[in-house]
Copies of this chain bind each other. A is one copy, B any other.
Amino acid sequence: MKVIEAREYVVNHLQYALNPKSIAVIGASRYKTKVGYKVIEGLTNWGYKGEIYPVNPRATYVHGRKAYKRVIDIEDEVDLAFVAVPAHIVKSVLEDCVAKNVKIAVIATSAFKEIGRGDLQNELTEYCRKNELPLIGPNLVGMGSPYLNFNCGFIPYLPIEGPVAMISQSGANLLAALGTSQKDHYGMSFFVGLGNKADVDFCEFIEYAGLDEHTKCLAIYVEGLDSSEAFVKSCKKVDKPIVVIKVGGSKIGEKAAFAHTASENAGTSDAFYDELFKEAGAIRATTWQEFLDVSLALGTQPPLAGDHIVMITNGGGSGLLSCDHFERLGLPLHELQEISPQLRERIKAYMPMFGSPLNPVDISGTASPIQYKGAFRQAMCDPNVDGVLGSICPTAVTDVDAVVDIIIELHETYKHLHKPFVMECQGGQECHEAILKLRDHGIPAYATAEQAVNAMVALYKYGQIVKNK
């Protein structure tokens, strides 16, 4: 239900959703495949240190813990109520939560507005708003944070620690991002599934993320905004980069978004959302891959101050894919002699005669770690250069490991220059491992040229947003 702006009591209570001292799992189950079992299992296995109170009127013990018939029977305070009971019982559960003075309620249960039960959902929302009990959901997967070993929902993994707060209406896509986090070292500060967002809305999590110490970038997956005004207001308040992906814009997608999270998109268009995100100072991603790639870069690198980007590669082909993609995205590379004639001359010392000091700078497939080091250092230190895009293509003579170590060292050495540094490493398993190692050292690294370019262009866009603030 619409909000005009983020409500202070909600923003203040979100700490209980992400860092609760105690959790009542209402609808706790003894059956291992049920949500009401999975959530306790997840909390326990991932190392939650607070109290867990299973609530189940027909059980004495759940997952080895004493069960309570109702949440009001619990002796101690309850910060978070995680609700996984059938839809028609949720109302009475919420009444108990209010009576118990629970700080926040999370409703995992589906089958509300998304299947036509809008009235029931609205009734719950109004009840919670009247009683100032923030409600997250319904129809969601859960939330968590790797910094707190907190995994609350039916979520098979925790992400690795990192800079991105992911706020997602879709559960499945959120889970995909969590899986990617582990596999591809995409680090997160916290994550939350909003589902139907009946009460707590994007705006409130955006303001919470703005205050969160671990969050350096917000990544937001939207199926529909019924509180677009509040969304824009909250984005403007936040002094961190924000990446948004908006789905449900296609003809059939409009219906699918309603069937999924009861999101209403009638009367909106892609152009409408383009404008809205522009006003909000948020960067819009088109594909899921771009959403992940761009948020990682924005979470780890400073904004790009200008468009003097130098690309250094040992593969002419990856250079070509990149410069074409830069131009496709409206940010064509400049020739090195335009950016810095001195750099053009200096960098020649680090390439063979068949290399190319254009831009992309092709130091050729024979490039040694020393040549990489020299070329990168010259580019980083040149005062006319705003950012550096590096690329490693493993030829039979490329020492990928040595080049990676050099890049990590240079990145550390020149951090004080506040110039963004993005890497591409295209190839097989050794490149995947290089990417992971670079990411572990705060360098956004990608498997294809276009991904790296997307990342650099997003850093440029954020640079422009910062300038215009």
Contact = CB atoms under 8 A, between A and B. Distances in A.
Interface of A: 33, 35, 38, 42, 110-111, 114-115, 139, 141, 153-157, 168-176, 178-183, 221, 223, 247-253, 255-257, 259-261, 286-289, 313-321, 323-328, 332-335, 353-354, 356, 358-360, 362, 364-365, 393-397, 426-432, 448-451
B332 A252 contact: yes
Contacts of A249: 324, 327
A108 to B, nearest CB: 11
A320 B170 contact: yes
Contacts of A432: 183
Contacts of A176: 315, 317-318, 393, 426-427, 431
Q: How many copies are assembled?
A: 2
Nearest to A112: B354
Contacts of A180: 427-428
B358 A259 contact: yes
A252 B156 contact: no
Given A42-B396, A256-B323, A428-B178, A448 B288 contact: yes
A352 to B, nearest CB: 8
A250 B315 CA distance: 17
Contact of A327 (B182, B252, B356, B426): B252
A395 B320 contact: no
Contacts of A353: 111, 115
Contacts of A251: 327, 332
A175 B178 CA distance: 30
Given A289-B448, A317-B170, A394 B256 contact: no
A183 B448 CA distance: 14
B221 A427 contact: no
Contacts of A253: 320, 323-324, 327
Nearest to A428: B179
Given A38-B396, A176-B431, A288-B321, 20 more contacts: A33-B397, A110-B354, A111-B354, A115-B353, A141-B395, A170-B315, A172-B314, A172-B318, A176-B317, A176-B426, A180-B428, A250-B326, A250-B328, A251-B332, A256-B319, A256-B360, A260-B319, A286-B328, A289-B289, A289-B450
A141 B315 CA distance: 11
Nearest to A245: B321
Nearest to A392: B172
Given A317-B173, A427-B175, A362 B449 contact: no
Nearest to A326: B250
Contact of A320 (B223, B394, B397, B427): B223
Contacts of A168: 317
Contact of A175 (B154, B320, B395): B395
A319 B139 CA distance: 16
A316 B170 contact: yes
Contacts of A221: 317
B428 A359 contact: no
Contacts of A170: 315-318, 320
A426 B297 CA distance: 21
Contact of A247 (B173, B321, B335): B321
Nearest to A117: B354
A450 B171 CA distance: 18
A191 B323 CA distance: 25
Counting chain B CB atoms within 10 Å of each CB, which of A42, A328, A334 scores highest?
A: A328
A432 B183 CA distance: 9
Which 8 residue pairs across A and B have the least CB separation, nearest first?
A: A172-B315, A179-B428, A170-B317, A260-B316, A179-B427, A173-B317, A250-B327, A172-B393
A333 B250 CA distance: 9
Contact of A356 (B260, B320, B326, B429): B260
A247 B287 contact: no
A320 B448 contact: no
